[in-house]
Amino acid sequence: MPEINVIAHGLAGKLKKSRSDYLEARFEENQTSHITYRGKGLESIGRATAGGGNVRALAKGGWGFTSFNSFDDVSDRVALAEEQARAAGSGKSSLAEVEPAVDDVPGGSAKNPVDTPLAEKKKLLDEYNDIIWSIPQIQTSTIGYSDSHKKVIFLNSEGSYITQERADVALRLTAIAAKDGEVQQVGLSLGSRGNFSAIEGLHQQIEEMARHAVELLSAPQAKGGEYTVVLDPVLAGVFVHEAFGHLSESDFVYENDRMRQIMELGKQFGTKQLNIVDSAAEPGLRGSYKYDDEGVPAVKTYLIREGRLVGRLHSRETAARMKEKPTGNARAINYRYPPIVRMTNTYIEPGTVTFDEMIADIKEGIYAKNWYGGMTSMEMFTFSAGEAYMIRNGKIAEALRPVMLTGNVFTTLKNIDVIGNDLDMNQGGGCGKGGQSPLPVSNGSPHIRIQQCLVGGK
C-alpha cells in the first residue's frame, strides 16, 4: 500500500494555495480483524486491511466531497472536490475559526489489538462460549468480536497537519434460550479504545447473562401503560444518548428556525439536579480523542447544567452559523464519509441519592436494566431494556420480559425526579447516523428515576 505519509506531505503545499474558501484532505490506513461464533463453534474469522482518502472543499456555502481507494491522481481528486463545491455553492461560507494544529497523536494503548495472536483471542472466546453452553435450555448463542487499528492523517488549507492513531475493541455476546416454540435472548456489549484486557475476565457476567435468558422463558410480559421507572446506569446512558444527545447535535438545529426556538439556550429542560455532559476530552473512553475529524481539539461540553440548556455539539460550520464556539464534535466513521456532528462520551453527572433510597417509596414501578437497542426521532425516543423487574412496595420483585420504553423527550426529561450517586460508563455502544454506523461512543449515568414513562406491553 502506498505510504500515506508521503502522499499527505506531497499535498500540503497544494492545499494552502487553494482557490476554495476551505479545503481539507484525509488519508487513512486501517487493519481490522473479526471473529464470530454461532452456536457451539466458531463461525467465521477474517482479517481486513483498507486504505483510502477523501478531499472536501467549501465554496460559497456549498460542499464538494470525493472519496477514493486509489492514490493515483490525488490532484485530480482535489480538483474534482473543488469543482463540486463550486457547483453546489451559491451563498456565503462560514466556518468557526480554529487555530491550525500540527500534531502527532499516537494510539494510547500498549499493544495493537489487531496484532494480538488469533490463538489468544480464540482461547478467550472459546471459554466464553463454553460458559454460555454450560447452561441447560440454551438453544444457541452468538459472539461477535472485532478489533481495529487505524492511522489517519488530516491536513487543510489553513496549515493544520494532524496524524492520529487509534485502536478499538468491541465484543457483543448473546445467549438465546428456547422452549416449546418460545424464544428469548439476552445480550452483553463491551468495548474499549484498544485495550484487549477490557474484554477479559467476563466469565461471571456471561454466566449470569445466559441464566437470565433461560429465566425469561417463564417471565411474564409487562402490562403496557405508564409507570414510574428506575433505569440502571447502562440503560440510563442509552436513554441520555437517544433522548437528548441527538437533539444536541447542531446539524439538526442550525438551519431550522423552529428547532432553534425549541433548543434555546437558557431554557429549563429538567430539574436543578440534572447535568448532562458530552466530552471526548475524557481520557481513555470509547469515544475519546484529542482532535476531531476537522482538526478541532476535543473539549468537555456541558449540554444541560442545573436543568438548563447551556450548550450543544458543533462542527465548525454549525458553530459559525449559530455564532457559538466550536466543540470538536465533527466525526467521520472512515474515509468514505464526510464528518458530521456526532456524540462522543455522553453522560448524566451523578447526584447524591442511593439506589435503595430511590426505590423505597415506589408502590408499583419497573426497574429496567442493560440495553438492547435505542432510537430517536428527535421528539420521540425508544429504547429497550435487556432486563426488567417489577418494583413493588419499595422492593425489586418478579422478573419481566424485556420492555420497551418510549416517550416524548421534553416531558420525559422534566419527569426525571431522582438522580443517583453511582455513575458508570457503558463502553459497548455503536451509534448510527447518516449511514455512518457503528461509530464508537460511550454513554453513562447513575441510576435515575423517571415518572410517567410509557412502557410497551400486553
* Ranges assigned E (strand) in 198-344: 225-231, 276-279, 300-305, 308-309, 330-331, 340-341
- Binding flag, residue 172, another protein (CB under 8 A): no
Provide the minimum distance between the beta carbon of 31 and another protein in the complex, in angstroms, as a whole number. 9
Q: Which is nearer to another protein, 122 or 300 (CB)?
A: 122
Q: Which segment (6-14, 45-53, 104-112, 273-281) binds another protein by CB under 8 A?
A: 45-53
* Three-state SS at 94: coil
Q: Which is nearer to another protein, 70 or 218 (CB)?
A: 70
Note the maximum CA span of the chain: 71
Nearest to 140 by CA among 211, 42, 38: 38
| Chain residues 178-197 in contact with another protein, contact rule CB under 8 A | 178, 181-185
Q: Are 217 and 184 in contact (CB under 8 A)?
A: yes
- Binding flag, residue 407, another protein (CB under 8 A): yes
Nearest to 442 by CA among 268, 255, 286: 286
- Binding flag, residue 351, another protein (CB under 8 A): no
| Chain residues 140-169 in contact with another protein, contact rule CB under 8 A | 140
Instruction: State the distance between the two ends of the chain, measured CA to CA, in whole angstroms.
Output: 57
Q: Which is nearer to another protein, 165 or 251 (CB)?
A: 251
Provide the minimum distance between the beta carbon of 157 and another protein in the complex, in angstroms, as a whole number. 18
Residue 57's beta-bridge partner residues?
23, 64
Cβ within 8 Å of residue 81, ≥6 positions away: 23, 55, 56, 57, 64, 65, 66
Grid coordinates belonging to 76 = 485530480
| Chain residues 214-273 in contact with another protein, contact rule CB under 8 A | 224-226, 255-256, 258-259, 262
| Chain residues 52-111 in contact with another protein, contact rule CB under 8 A | 52, 62-70, 80, 84-85, 87-88, 90
Site string for another protein, 328-347 (x = CB under 8 A): --------x-x---------
Alpha carbons 98 and 87: distance in angstroms, whole number: 26
| Chain residues 369-398 in contact with another protein, contact rule CB under 8 A | 372-375, 377-380, 382-384
Provide the minimum distance between the beta carbon of 431 and another protein in the complex, in angstroms, as a whole number. 15
For residue 10, the Cα-to-chain-centroid distance in whole angstroms is: 34
Provide the minimum distance between the beta carbon of 65 and another protein in the complex, in angstroms, as a whole number. 4
Q: Which is nearer to another protein, 45 or 281 (CB)?
A: 45
Q: Which is nearer to another protein, 214 or 280 (CB)?
A: 214
Residue 145's beta-bridge partner residues?
35, 171
| Chain residues 13-42 in contact with another protein, contact rule CB under 8 A | 33-34, 38-39, 41-42
